[in-house]
Amino acid sequence: MRIQHQAKINVCLYVNGKREDGYHTIETIMQGIRLQDTLTIEESNENLLECTVQGVPLGEDNLIWKAYRALAKDFDLPPVHCVLEKNIPVAAGLGGGSANAAAMLTGLNELFSLGLDESELEAYGATLGADVPYFIRGGTVYATGIGTELHTIAPYQGKWIVLVNDGTAISSKEVYECGPTQTQSEITTLLKELEEGKTALSVHNDLYRPVLTLYPHIESIVNELKDTDADTVLLSGSGATVFALYENEEKARKAAQTLDYPFVYVTQTV
C-alpha cells in the first residue's frame, strides 16, 4: 500500500501561553501544499523501515514506528516493511515527520481493516505530536489549544508558493524554550482574507523572533524573498523554511530562479 501525504505551512502562528505540562497554547492556520512524501507499507516477517534519502533516523524513535506502536497496543498488528520516499525537508517547519506518522496511522488502518474513523485516528495522532492530527485531516485548518483542536475552514487552494530552506535543521523544542513573543491575535482578519482568496495576507509568527535569536541568518532569506515581488513572506512554524505567496505562477517561478539555496521549491496550496 502506498500513501502519498503532503507537507503544510503555518500561514500564521500566535502563542497564547504555556501550560503546566510545558506545552504552549497557540492559534494557527495550517495549510496543505503540493509537496509530498510517499510511504509504502506491506506485511512482513519483521519490522523494517527504509528511506530513499540519507540522514533520516530509522530506529524506534522515528514517528512512523511510534505510530505503529500506538495502534499495536490496541490491535493485533503483524510486522510491516515500510519504505519512505522522502521529499519534505527534515526539521524544516513543514511537518514532515508528523505527516509520516499520520500516513502510518491511516495506512495501517486501511491495510488491516481496523475500522477507525477520522476522529479516532486524530486521537491516536494527538498522542504522538501536536501536528499529527492535522495531517489526518489536511486541507485548510484553524487549530487551537496545543494545535490539536482542529476546525476545518474554507479551502485556500491553488495559490502559488515558493519554499526556501537553507538546510538548517531547527528543533521546535529549542525555539519554544528560547521564549516566543505573545502578540495580540489578528487571526479574524486573516480568516477573512483567506476566504476572499487574497495572496497579500495579514500574517504573523510569534516564533520568528526566537528563531532569529538562535539562527540570525534566517532573516536574510526572509529579506531576499521580500525583494522578489512576493505578496506575503513568513517563516513557517519554527522554521527553517520560509514561504512566499505570489499572485500567479509566472511570478513564483521567476522569483525561484533568483534564489540560490539547497532547497527552493515552487508549489501550490491544496
Any bridge partners for residue 17, and if so which?
25
Just list the catalytic residues.
Answer: 8, 131
| pTM assigned to the model | 0.94
pLDDT digits 0-9 by tens, 12-21: 999 999 888 8
Q: What is the DSSP string of 197-223?
A: T-SS----BTTHHHHHHH-TTHHHHHH
pLDDT digits 0-9 by tens, 152-197: 999 999 999 999 999 998 989 899 999 898 999 999 999 999 999 9
Within 10 Å of residue 172's Cβ, how many Cβ atoms?
Answer: 17
**Domains in the chain, ordered, with CATH?**
2-152 (3.30.230.10), 160-268 (3.30.70.890)
